[in-house]
Amino acid sequence: MARVAAIDCGTNSIRLLVADVTTGSDGVPALRDVHRETRIVRLGQGVDASGRLVPEAIERTRAALADYTAVLRRKGTERVRMVATSATRDAGNREDFFGMVRATLGVDAEVISGDEEAQLSFTGAVGDLDPDDGPFVVVDVGGGSTELVVGTLEPGGAAVRAARSVDIGSVRITERCLHGDPPTAEEVAQARELATRVLDDAFDAVPVGGVRTWVGVAGTVTTLSAVALDLAEYDPDAVHLSRLGRGELHRVAEDLLGMSREERGRHGGIHPGRIDVIGGGALIVDVLATELHARAGVDELVVSEHDILDGIARSIA
């Protein structure tokens, strides 16, 4: 048994998983959570417009990473892997970020490709599912990008058929289109047109015909589940493997886009760091629901708490 740590630094959040890993007779690593935590740091603040990471965003990330480093020491972690995704891929001054990580964590952050990000998300997402429910399409709506990956769950582990990452996410679409509080109908229509156009590129690269189960991972999707379930406070046990129909996803998206930031802030299931961007994230998921119905006849989203963090942990087992 090994104790490993996975850190995922995205456009909106930085997340930590410490887990014990065992390998069964089938050779597939099994994870047991020791510690799981999320901080909203908005590393990608303004990157879409300026192409650079702002100093205050790097400092917010450094403070969270310093706390995570202390957790790793207390937990006796043997191996750690940190990946950085959309925001750092796009930043002209990303070496400032890398130097900060090296000084704080003691290891280098890896900027992974969008395709590797998608594959790690798929590996983490499908572990709790019945292989007979495949093929699966796993979708990760992040702050700066959205990943689609299609594959199956085989006796030896996850088998990915196709994957694509495209530059549309909750932060990016909010900064580009959704300026009002709440956004205007014209802004929402512009955002929906943008999301549909960008996601068409993903669907062109990732054929979803024949897919039986749609799995959604990461903070946007899990937050939508918490809102749909009307949770007084976020409860990962209630969210994990919950199911949302296409009509319910559309209703939640319309509700969130029609609310002001103050109104969203009253919902205990929405993390304060997501209040201003969850409407944009919900719109992307709503567009995905429409496309998956049209292309694959899939009408239900399965929400998973297990995602790229679990895939990263398995990769260093």
Q: Are 271 and 219 in contact (CB under 8 A)?
A: yes
Bridge pairing between strands 146-154 and 157-166: antiparallel
Residue 269 has pLDDT above 80, yes or no: yes
Q: Say how many C-beta atoms besides its own lie within 10 A of residue 197's C-beta.
A: 12
In the prediction, which pLDDT does 25 show? 58
Looking at per-residue pLDDT, the higher value among 18 and 116 belongs to 18
Please give the model's pTM, rounded to 2 decimal places: 0.81
Residues 6 or more apart from 184 whose CB is under 8 A from it? Answer: none
Mean pLDDT computed over 263-273 = 90
Q: Give the pLDDT confidence of 198-234 residue by residue, as tens digits.
A: 999 999 999 999 999 999 998 899 999 999 999 999 9
Residue 277 tokens, joined: 């961007």
When mean pLDDT is compared across 11-25, 65-79, 130-144, 159-173, the lowest value belongs to: 11-25
Instruction: Report the alpha-carbon distance of residue 111 to residue 94 in Å, rounded.
Output: 10
Instruction: Report the alpha-carbon distance of residue 191 to residue 91 in Å, rounded.
Output: 23
Looking at per-residue pLDDT, the higher value among 127 and 249 belongs to 249
Averaged pLDDT score across all residues of the chain: 91
When mean pLDDT is compared across 44-53, 77-86, 201-210, 248-257, the lowest value belongs to: 44-53
Q: Give the pLDDT confidence of 271-287 residue by residue, as tens digits.
A: 888 999 999 999 999 99
- Residue 115's region, left for phi above 0, alpha for psi from -120 to 50, else beta, is alpha
Q: What is the DSSP letter of 126?
A: G
Q: Are 90 and 52 in contact (CB under 8 A)?
A: no
Mean pLDDT computed over 37-60 = 89
Residue 292 has pLDDT above 80, yes or no: yes
For the chain, which domains are there? 2-114 (3.30.420.40), 128-304 (3.30.420.150)
